[in-house]
Structure formats: C-alpha cells, structure tokens
C-alpha cells in the first residue's frame, strides 16, 4: 500500500495557512493544522476535507503563548496519523510596534508566536522528521530586508526566523531540509483591508502590478516539499517582483 505523507501546519484554519492546507491535501498529503481563535473555520475545513478523503485531515487547538505548548502539540500530532513528514511554521502575529509604544507584552506576544514556537516545534519534531527524511518550511516575509517601518518587533521576529531557517538547515542536515518562503503582498492584513490608497501605493511598486494569491505560496511550499530534494537553507521570495523596487 502506498504511504500517505503527513504535513503539519501552524495557523492553518484561515487565509494563507488554509490555502496551503487545501492545496497540499489535494496533492495527496494528510494534513494536521493548529488553530487558536478560528475554531469554526477549522471545524468547517475539517468537515470539507474529510468528506473528500475520509480520515485525512485533523486539527489541534493551541495557543502559542502557553508554556510547554510545543511538546504537547507534538505528542498530539504524532498520535493522529502515526507520522509527520513536514513541519510548516506559518502562524504569525502582525501589528505595528512603534518605538515609543513597545511593551514587554507585545515583545513576547510577537516573538513567541513568530520565532520561539518555530524553534521549539522544530526541536520537538526533529527526531520524527529525521526518521522520515522530511523537511521544515518557515513562512517568513519579504519585509525583513529592508524592514517594514514602525514594525520593530515583527521585523526582528521574521529576521530571526530567516536566521533560524539557515541555522537549522546546517544543524539538521543531512537528514532534514529546512527552507523559507517569503510572501510579498498576498492577502492584505485585515486591519488594512479598506485602505485603498495604501494598497494602490504598494501595487504600483510590484513589478507584476498585482497582488499574489494564497495558492502562489502553497505552490512554492509544494515545490520545496516534493521536488526540491537538493535544496536546503534557502528563502524563496514570492512577491511578483516587489523586491526589485523596495
Ligand atoms: N498575508 C500576506 O500577504 C503576508 C505577507 C508577508 C508575510 N506573510 C506571512 O505568511 C504567513 C501567513 O500569513 P497570513 O496573513 O495568512 O497570517 P495571519 O492571518 O496573520 O495569521 C495566521 C494564523 O496564525 C495564528 N496565530 C497567530 N497568533 C497565534 C498564537 N499566539 N497562537 C496560536 N496561533 C496563532 C492565527 O490562528 P487563529 O486564527 O486560529 O487564532 C492565524 O489565523 C504568516 O507567517 C505571515 O507573517 C503573509
């Protein structure tokens, strides 16, 4: 019987994480996602995907600010399908933190979710990924260099995630490949969704003159998982050429 590989995605109930979950599921993988506040979305996705292929999709509720969450998540995840082949660190916190308003609360909130959890999940999943010759994908951001104005903590968290990607690619080789995918303007932040002036300004600087689709990220992820056996320590910008004009 053919083996069905399992992909684990953090923050997979909505937006880009959900698109990746659906796309990889359609490509034949079993999927486990974590969700925190999006319980209804997670439930509805689970219903839809398990209807398409019974016992192929599962969810784990997890808040990344709680202690020992990564070892708990791993213990739950491995019980579901008996294996995990790919870890995708997608969940993220994104909001401005101007220097005058920085608090320890926002530091821990953003750094824990965007950087600490990807590191400790990698630690927990590593023995299993090593056994499966698997891989890790970290979802970063084109804005780490040059950084996004007034987003100090977010910039630090994503720059750290790139450093983590490269470090883990070295330390976990040759058994586990570790790569990054950096989205440009794919889905507007919900807080900015009606700011047309800002959107127009961003679009004017994108070489392809349009925003991307969540599936553009999913396709890059699938390439890194499936067809990039000789690629590790890389970060692919999926940005329609936005980086040419930054
Ligand atoms: N959207 C873009 O165009 C864009 C651009 C550049 C980079 N990115 C990167 O691409 C990835 C996906 O982007 P997105 O816009 O789809 O992300 P998002 O909607 O901002 O966040 C994804 C999920 O992260 C989960 N999450 C956040 N904080 C959490 C916490 N403390 N504990 C547990 N889960 C938490 C949330 O789950 P719940 O909803 O279940 O609470 C949320 O649905 C992110 O890493 C982002 O930084 C996106």
Q: Catalytic residue among 29, 35, 74, 154, which? A: 154
Low-confidence ranges of the chain (pLDDT < 70): 193
3-state secondary structure 54-81: CCCEEEEECCCCCCCHHHHHHHHHHHHH
C-alpha 91 to ligand 1 mean position (Å)? 4
pLDDT in tens, 200-241: 989 999 999 999 999 999 999 999 999 999 999 999 999 999
For residue 26, what pLDDT is reported?
A: 98
Q: Quickly tell me which residue has 């660190």 as its tokens.
A: 89
For residue 204, what pLDDT is reported?
A: 92
For residue 198, what pLDDT is reported?
A: 84
Buried b / exposed e along 176-191 (16+ C-beta atoms within 10 A): bbbbbbbbbbbbeeee
For residue 227, what pLDDT is reported?
A: 97
For residue 20, what pLDDT is reported?
A: 98
**Domains plus CATH for the chain?**
6-190+213-240 (3.40.50.720)
**29 labelled catalytic:** no
For residue 14, what pLDDT is reported?
A: 98
C-alpha 92 to ligand 1 mean position (Å)? 4
For residue 216, what pLDDT is reported?
A: 98
> Could you tell me if 55 and 99 are in contact, meaning their C-beta atoms sit under 8 angstroms apart?
no
For residue 41, what pLDDT is reported?
A: 98
C-alpha 42 to ligand 1 mean position (Å)? 14
């Amino acid at each position: 019987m053919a083996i069905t590989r399992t992909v684990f995605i953090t923050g997979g109930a909505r937006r880009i994480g959900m698109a990746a979950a659906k796309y990889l599921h359609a490509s034949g993988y079993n999927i486990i996602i974590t969700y925190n506040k999006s319980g209804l979305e997670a439930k509805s996705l689970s219903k839809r995907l398990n209807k398409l292929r019974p016992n192929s999709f599962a969810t784990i509720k997890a808040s990344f600010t709680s202690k020992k969450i990564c070892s708990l998540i791993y213990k739950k995840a491995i019980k579901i399908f008996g294996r995990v082949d790919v870890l995708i660190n997608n969940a993220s916190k994104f909001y401005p933190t101007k220097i005058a308003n920085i608090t320890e609360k926002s530091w821990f909130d953003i750094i824990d979710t965007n950087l600490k959890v990807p590191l400790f999940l990698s630690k927990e999943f590593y023995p299993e990924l090593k056994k499966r010759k698997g891989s890790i994908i970290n979802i970063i951001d084109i804005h780490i260099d040059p950084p996004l104005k007034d987003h100090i903590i977010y910039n630090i968290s994503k720059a750290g995630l790139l450093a983590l990607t490269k470090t883990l690619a070295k330390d976990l080789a040759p058994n586990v490949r570790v790569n990054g995918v950096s989205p440009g303007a794919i889905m507007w932040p919900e807080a900015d969704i009606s700011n047309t002036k800002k959107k127009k300004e961003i679009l004017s600087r994108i070489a392809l003159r349009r925003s991307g689709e969540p599936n553009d990220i999913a396709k890059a992820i699938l390439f890194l998982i499936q067809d990039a056996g000789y690629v590790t320590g890389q970060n692919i910008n999926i940005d329609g050429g936005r980086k040419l004009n930054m």
